[in-house]
């Protein structure tokens, strides 16, 4: 193999990218260091110059995702939510999330399907990620409940749980499965369901 010398950060990213692709394709368990270095076209020893092991590169993948997600959360938190429940604004909000996952398919696949089942440390990292998002949601709901635009009997924690669940399958069983997921249809259904449940319309 040609001996290419790259600066540390580029090489690290090259390995990380390769790992994301391979993990997405074969899953954590079935992925061997060999798969990663073959994908990255790098020698065995080189891998260990950048990551202490398989577990650690997986954690680095999660961390990478965490950063991307944090940026998204920060951006969404910056957007001021309207005092009232505006269907269009909610849909836009949901779509922003869905687009993020659709854009980072491989990464999302890795995280959503594996991060919770492989290793306690992976799970821990995942839970911190999940908590961050849920805290954000709970806080928003509380504010809207105080304004009276949101049903009082709704327990924000339950709602956050439900939202997380809908995210989960929307991602795992729809976005990651279909070749061309109809994000708009999904967001539309989502918002309607979230606003009015399954009961026939008695909207104003």
Partner DNA sequence: AATGAATGAGATTTCATTCAT
Partner DNA sequence: CATGAATGAAATCTCATTCAT
1-4: which pairs have CB atoms within 8 A and are 24 or more residues apart?
1/41, 1/43
Tell which phi-psi region holds residue 44, choosing left (phi > 0), alpha (psi between -120 and 50) or beta. Answer: alpha
Task: Return the residues of window 19-58 that contact its own copies according to CB under 8 A.
Answer: 27-30
Task: Return the residues of window 84-143 that contact its own copies according to CB under 8 A.
Answer: 85, 113-114, 116-119, 130, 141
| Contact indicator for 81, 140 with CB cutoff of 8 Å | yes
Q: Which of 13, 48, 173, 195 binds DNA (CB under 7 A)?
A: 48
| Contact indicator for 136, 73 with CB cutoff of 8 Å | yes
Q: Which is nearer to its own copies, 10 or 153 (CB)?
A: 153
Could you give the dihedral angle defined by the CA atoms of residues 30, 36, 39 and 42, in that order, rounded to the nearest 10 degrees? -150
Q: Which is nearer to its own copies, 71 or 119 (CB)?
A: 119
Q: Which is nearer to DNA, 33 or 138 (CB)?
A: 33
By CB under 7 A, residue 34 contacts DNA: yes
8 binds, among its own copies, DNA, none (CB under 5 to 8 A by kind): DNA
């Amino acid at each position: 193999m040609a001996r290419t010398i790259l600066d540390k950060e580029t090489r690290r990213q090259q390995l990380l990218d390769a790992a994301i692709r391979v993990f997405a394709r074969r899953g954590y368990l079935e992925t061997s260091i060999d798969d990663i270095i073959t994908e990255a076209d790098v020698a065995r020893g080189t891998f260990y110059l950048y990551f202490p092991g398989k577990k650690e590169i997986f954690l680095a993948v999660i961390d990478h995702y965490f950063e991307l997600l944090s940026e998204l959360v920060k951006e969404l938190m910056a957007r001021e939510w309207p005092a009232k429940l505006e269907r269009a604004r909610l849909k836009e909000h949901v779509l922003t999330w869905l687009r993020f996952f659709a854009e980072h398919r491989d990464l999302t696949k890795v995280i959503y399907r594996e991060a919770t089942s492989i290793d306690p440390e992976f799970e821990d990292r995942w839970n911190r990620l999940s908590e961050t998002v849920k805290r954000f949601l709970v806080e928003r709901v509380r504010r809207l409940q105080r304004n009276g635009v949101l049903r009082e009997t709704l327990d924000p924690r339950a709602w956050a749980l439900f939202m997380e669940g809908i995210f989960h399958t929307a991602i795992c069983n729809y976005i990651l499965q279909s070749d061309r997921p109809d994000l708009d249809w999904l967001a539309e259904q989502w918002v309607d369901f979230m606003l009015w449940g399954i009961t026939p319309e008695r909207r104003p």
